[in-house]
């Protein structure tokens, strides 16, 4: 069976160059892969553009007032549940700011893990944006999550059915949000990670803990995925202490060229320019 790359986006005609970079970079490094774009409320012109560019798509119609980041979880979960027999492994990512330099499926050990996520190299308490979202949407978790490393919801992989369950669980957490911010999915995923191991009160063994999902937590030394908003030389990398935090935690200063997946490359102009040049 093939390995699947998928993601959800809207405004397709406007962003076709970004979609093609995502697709073309993937196809340049993956031999046994398939790309399926989940098209959110596509217009007739969007559909024509997808066909002209040979992009396989699955259209969804939604009337939600939520941002794409939040509403995409359940439709993607349902798509994977309906198609899980067609794929061996699935990589679900943001579309407009993800590119590939190596085959990202090579490091996915699905014999031992269900879900694969990539850390940003810093803890929540060191990154203002993530803490702001948590405080506005899920204030009850702010204190508990401060010292947990941030894992980015823009790149998630897994077995198809397990990834479907994972996204559904993220959506369930989003439904409890206080709606203080328009992007909730990353906070929801980090809450899910924090709560993944729980105590089984019904067990006769007082030390019985259960994992809802077998998760592989890739870190920056694994060279699987880099999220450049925190792991790359943006204007915040040194002034906000990200560089020192990553050095202290992992003993490295990351170089994007070492990673299979490069996320948020468009936040650093020189890297953005080099990636576009690779796949134009």
280 has a pLDDT exceeding 80: no
Q: How many domains does the chain fold into? A: 1
Q: What predicted TM-score, i.e. pTM, was given to this entire model?
A: 0.95
pLDDT of residue 210: 72
For residue 126, the enclosing domain spans: 2-279
Give me the residue label for tokens 């850390």: 119
Minimum mean pLDDT range among 51-65, 213-227, 261-275:
51-65
- Three-class DSSP category at 98: strand
pLDDT of residue 206: 55
In 3D, which of 141, 127, 210 has the Cα closest to residue 173?
141
Average pLDDT over residues 65-89: 91
In 3D, which of 67, 59, 65 has the Cα closest to residue 42?
59
pLDDT of residue 204: 56
120 CB contacts (<8 Å, ≥6 apart)?
127, 149, 150, 151, 152, 227, 229, 230, 231
Cβ proximity of 121 and 219 under 8 Å: yes
CATH code of the domain covering residue 43: 3.90.550.10
Handedness of CA 172, 178, 217, 253 (dihedral sign): positive
Average pLDDT over residues 177-193: 96
63 CB contacts (<8 Å, ≥6 apart)?
none
> Exposure string (b/e) for 205-215, b if CB count within 10 Å is 16 or more?
eeeeeeebbeb
pLDDT of residue 65: 76
209 has a pLDDT exceeding 80: no
CA atoms of 68 and 95, how far apart (whole Å): 11
pLDDT of residue 237: 97
22 CB contacts (<8 Å, ≥6 apart)?
5, 7, 93, 95, 96, 98, 99
CA atoms of 105 and 245, how far apart (whole Å): 28
167 has a pLDDT exceeding 60: yes
Of residues 198 and 58, more confidence is placed in 58
pLDDT of residue 63: 82
pLDDT digit string (tens) for 14-73? 999 999 999 999 999 999 999 999 999 999 999 999 999 999 999 999 887 778 888 899
Q: How confident is the model at residue 256 (pLDDT cuts 50, 70, 90)?
A: very high
249 has a pLDDT exceeding 60: yes
Residue 277: count of CB within 10 angstroms of its CB: 8
Mean pLDDT over each residue of the chain, to the nearest integer: 94
149 CB contacts (<8 Å, ≥6 apart)?
119, 120, 121, 122, 123, 124, 217, 219
Cβ proximity of 155 and 72 under 8 Å: no
162 has a pLDDT exceeding 90: yes
135 has a pLDDT exceeding 80: yes
pLDDT of residue 30: 98
Q: How confident is the model at residue 157 (pLDDT cuts 50, 70, 90)?
A: very high
pLDDT of residue 190: 97
């Amino acid at each position: 069976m093939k390995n699947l790359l998928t993601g959800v986006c809207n405004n397709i005609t406007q962003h076709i160059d970004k979609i093609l970079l995502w697709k073309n970079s993937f196809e340049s490094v993956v031999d046994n892969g398939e790309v399926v774009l989940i098209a959110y409320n596509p217009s007739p012109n969007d559909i024509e553009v997808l066909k002209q560019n040979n992009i396989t798509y699955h259209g969804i119609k939604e009337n939600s007032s939520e941002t794409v980041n939040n509403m995409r979880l359940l439709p993607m979960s349902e798509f994977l549940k309906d198609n899980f027999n067609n794929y061996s492994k699935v990589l679900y990512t943001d579309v407009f700011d993800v590119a590939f330099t190596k085959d990202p499926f090579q490091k996915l050990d699905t014999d031992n893990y269900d879900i694969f996520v990539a850390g940003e190299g810093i803890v929540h308490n060191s990154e203002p944006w993530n803490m702001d979202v948590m405080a506005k949407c899920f204030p009850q978790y702010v204190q508990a999550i401060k010292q947990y490393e941030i894992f980015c919801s823009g790149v998630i992989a897994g077995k198809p059915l397990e990834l479907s369950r994972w996204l559904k669980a993220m959506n369930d957490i989003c439904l409890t949000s206080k709606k203080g911010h328009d992007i909730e999915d990353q906070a929801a995923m980090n809450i899910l990670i924090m709560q993944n191991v729980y105590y089984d009160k019904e067990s006769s063994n007082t030390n019985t803990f259960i994992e809802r999902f077998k998760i592989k937590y890739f870190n920056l030394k694994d060279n699987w995925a880099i999220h450049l908003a925190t792991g790359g030389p943006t204007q915040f990398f040194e002034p906000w202490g990200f560089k020192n935090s990553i050095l202290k935690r992992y003993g490295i200063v990351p170089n994007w060229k070492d990673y299979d997946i490069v996320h948020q490359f468009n936040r650093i102009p020189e890297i953005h320019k080099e990636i576009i040049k690779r796949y134009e």
